[in-house]
Structures are given as structure tokens and as C-alpha cells.
Amino acid sequence: MKPCIFFDRDGTLIEERHYLSEPAQVKLIPGAAEAVRLAREAGFLTVVLTNQSGVGRGYFPAEAVEAVHRRMEGLLAKEGATLDRIYVCPHAPEDNCPCRKPRTGLVEQAARDLDVDLHRSWMVGDKPADIELAANAGMRGVLVMTGYGEGSAPEGAGAASFTASDVRAAVRMILAGAAPGRLGGPGAPDSGVD
């Protein structure tokens, strides 16, 4: 089993755009490719989890989401970064589906598909739902101050293990105390990141 760093998409790896459906509008947040690359080099799987209710609301088709992801992956690849997988919840909030963050359906699917050790895994995102997902799945969560996290007070991070200015800073902090083989998982006494 391998640990994973799960990344939110909008506001974490790419700039927040309300109901993004145009690949031309995809722009990486500075340091995002480095964050993914560093995580992989340290032995973590790298997986994106994203709610895309625009599909369920009929604003755009699932193919538009796939095109956005191809663009994002292309931009990451130009900087030497690769994702292991991307998981999407296409449902509207009122659909009450088990895969919409903060519910754990996407994480559970990733764990089955990729043999993920959730107890040594992390969720990095810009919304409380990302941090709540981490807690629900038995992982640690990092709230980044980009996207919807921008302007948030660090003390308002709730159940986050810590906050970080951006995704690159988050991954660096994780790796400082949680590289695979150095910790037993969440709650390990010598993490240095609490």
C-alpha cells in the first residue's frame, strides 16, 4: 500500500474559475507542478479529487470536464509533473451522492483502484469540504490560502492539520514530517507539522 496526496483541483492546483468548462481558461497556480513533482519524488501517489456540479446542473457536459483535465495535465507535464489519477463527482449537491466531497466515495474508489494507505495520506484543498473529507476518510488535511482559501484566517481552518500559503508550501510541509517511511501516519508523535 502506498500513501497518497490528494489534491483539490480548482483554487488548489489551478486558478479558481466559476464553473470552469473552457480548457483555454486553465492556468496553474504558481508552484502547483513543483508540488505534484515533489510529492511523487517522495513516494506519494498524486490524485486529484474534484466536485464538478456544473455537469449535474446541466451547465456543461462531462466532456468539457475531461477537456479541462487534459489541459491541466498537459500544463503539469510541461513542468515534469504527472498525476496518477483524477476522480470527479459530476453530481449536483441536491443529488445527495456518496462521491461529492466531503463524502468519501471518491477517496474510497481511489483506495481500491490504487491500493492507497489512507492512514498515511493527505488531502490538500482550499475549502472546508476538503478538510472535512480528510477527517471523514481518516487522513490529515491541509487548507491552502489560494482559491476560496484566500483571505481565510488560519485559525478558521477547523480540523486542518495545518494551513499553507499555497499547494507548494503545503507539500513541502507534508514532506518535512510525513515522507513515506518516516511516519506511521496521522497522529504519529514526531511529525513536526501539527
Which pLDDT value is given to residue 149?
87
Q: What is the pLDDT of residues 111-163, one digit of tens each?
A: 999 999 999 999 999 999 999 999 999 999 999 999 998 866 554 456 678 89
Mean pLDDT of 93-113: 97
Which pLDDT value is given to residue 61?
97
Residue 126 is a catalytic residue: no
- If you average pLDDT over every residue of the chain, what do you get? 89
Which pLDDT value is given to residue 152?
62
Is residue 184 over pLDDT 70? Answer: no
Of the candidates 8, 84, 126, 130, the residue annotated as catalytic is 8
* Residue ranges with strand state E in the chain: 4-8, 45-51, 85-89, 122-125, 140-144, 162-164
Cell numbers given for 104: 468519501
Q: pLDDT band at residue 21, thresholds of 50, 70 and 90?
A: very high
Residue 166 is a catalytic residue: no
Please report, rounded to a whole number, the percentage of residues in the chain having pLDDT higher than 70.
87
Which pLDDT value is given to residue 190?
31
Domains of the chain are 4-178 (3.40.50.1000)
Which pLDDT value is given to residue 185?
36
Rounded to 10 degrees, what is the CA torsion of 10, 99, 169, 149? 50
Which pLDDT value is given to residue 160?
73
3 state SS for 27-59: CECCCHHHHHHHHHHCCCEEEEEEECHHHHCCC
3-class state of residue 144 by DSSP: strand
